[in-house]
Structures are given as C-alpha cells and as structure tokens.
Amino acid sequence: MTAILELSGVTRAFGERTAVEDVSLSLLPGELAFLIGPSGAGKTTLLRLINRELPPTHGEVWVDGIPAHRIKPGRIPALRRRVGVVFQDFKLLPRLTVLENIVFALQVTDLKVSDKQARDRALDALEAVGLGDRGGDYPAELSGGQQQRVSIARAIARQPGLVIADEPTGNLDLDTGVSIIDLFADIARFGAGVLVATHNLQIVRRRQQRTLTLVNGRLVRDEPAGRVGKLGWAQSS
C-alpha cells in the first residue's frame, strides 16, 4: 500500500536552533499514530512541515503523492486541501454557527461545491462526530470538547486522505480527551491516515496505537500498535 505521508531525512532549523533533525517516517492510509514528546521536542514543527506552513531545511515531505518540500507557493492551498488539520485551540470562527463554519471551510476551498452539497456534507460530518443536532449553535455555546468535535468535523468534511492533529486533547479533561481520540480511531477506520501529536500519555497508553517519540527534534522511538510499552521520553534519551 502507498503511504499517505512520507518524511525522509527531514530537518528544520531556525537559525542556530534545530527544531526537527533527520526525521524519517511514513504513515499508511487507515493508520492512526501518536506523536509524543516533551514540550519543545519539535512535534508542532513537524506537523507544520506536513501542512506546509514551513518548508524543511533539508529532506523530503510527501503528502498524498505531493512533494510538500518543493511545492510552489501558489500550490500550497491545493496541498492543504488534502490534509485535515485539527488544532488545540479549535480555530472556529465565532461569528458563524457550527454548520456555517464547516460549510464556509468547504466552499472557500472549493467554489464548485453548491450550498446544498456543502450543507449535506457538513451535516454528515457533524453526525459523525455526534453533534448532528447542534449545527445552529455558535461555537461559544458549546463546551470545549464539543468545539473540538466541530473542529474535527471541519477537518474530515472534505474527506482528506490525511488528518493531523496538534494536541487536540490539550484543553480537555481526560474523559472528553479519550472520546476525541476514539473519534480519530473511527476516522482512521474509514481509511484516512491520522497523526495525532499529544503529550497525554494516559490516553496513548490506553489506545495502544503506533507511537512515535520525538525528543530534541529527533525521532527516537517508533513503537507499533499493540506493543506500546513504558512511555516517557526520559528513558529514551
């Protein structure tokens, strides 16, 4: 099976400081993987390299067959449309309802999507995350966990091949965080590759999915699903 995400010898430096160093990994469609590591390990930088918010200093980043490392600026939006991104702070537009947030994201990225198609797809996505009856609410009327579900619905509404999430449970309590991770597992079961950056080790241990450990920008451990043992970066260094 062809990988949906492939990183090969990726390094990203900011001046003297190297945030990500010589990272190589691949993710298959339908695979859920956790990216763990202490604060400042380079998790967010790695996700930003995948969504081409940053170019790598060295190495190659392939997303769904597109070379993100040497893409022209004008093609970046097209690459981002193949990646669903979930943020720790949800990034929902407060002036739009939940449904409008998803419709807006669908239509500004593809003008050929009609109002009806966009609404149908947005409603499907909201159903999938368990919020089918909250489409008319504004983000401020929802709890943190519900807002994160909306953010996930927005990410999957376009049915991207790859979903990346940066600390999606960072602002949530443990039970809500677990339900959000369950949602990511469901998304992976439907065929998307899912990469979740987190430092919530409890959830990672409970899920027993493939786990990639990043320390000081280097990928120090890649544990396959079902064989996630003792976690903690202190032991890796």
* Cβ-based neighbour number of residue 74 at 10 Å: 7
Query: Min. distance of Cβ 129 from other proteins in angstroms?
Result: 17
Kindly tell me which residue out of 24, 65, 91, 224 binds other proteins, with binding defined by CB under 8 A. 91
Three-class DSSP category at 61:
strand
Q: Does 53 bind other proteins (CB under 8 A)?
A: yes
Query: Min. distance of Cβ 94 from other proteins in angstroms?
Result: 9
Query: Min. distance of Cβ 104 from other proteins in angstroms?
Result: 8
CA distance 157 to 123: 9
CA distance 209 to 225: 4
Q: Does 95 bind other proteins (CB under 8 A)?
A: yes
Q: Does 76 bind other proteins (CB under 8 A)?
A: yes
Residue count, binding to other proteins (CB under 8 A): 32
Pick 108 or 185: Cβ nearer other proteins: 108
- Pairing between β-strand 193-197 and β-strand 162-166 as defined by DSSP bridges: parallel
Q: Of 112, 113, 115, 131, whose CA–CA distance to 123 is shortest?
A: 131
Backbone φ and ψ for 126, nearest 5 degrees, come out as -65, -40
Applying CB under 8 A, which part among 15-23, 68-76, 211-219, 223-231 lies near other proteins? 68-76
120: which residues sit within 8 A by CB, 6+ positions away?
none
Q: Do 31 and 210 form a contact (C-beta atoms < 8 A)?
A: yes
Kindly tell me which residue out of 2, 24, 114, 235 binds other proteins, with binding defined by CB under 8 A. 114
Q: Does 108 bind other proteins (CB under 8 A)?
A: yes
Kindly tell me which residue out of 10, 20, 105, 192 binds other proteins, with binding defined by CB under 8 A. 105
Q: Does 77 bind other proteins (CB under 8 A)?
A: yes
Pick 68 or 231: Cβ nearer other proteins: 68
> Does residue 74 come out as left (phi exceeding 0), alpha (psi in the -120 to 50 range) or beta?
alpha
**Residue 7's beta-bridge partner residues?**
25, 61
Query: Min. distance of Cβ 93 from other proteins in angstroms?
Result: 6
Positions touching other proteins (CB under 8 A) are 51-55, 57, 73-74, 76-81, 83, 85, 87, 91-93, 95, 104-105, 107-109, 111-115, 154
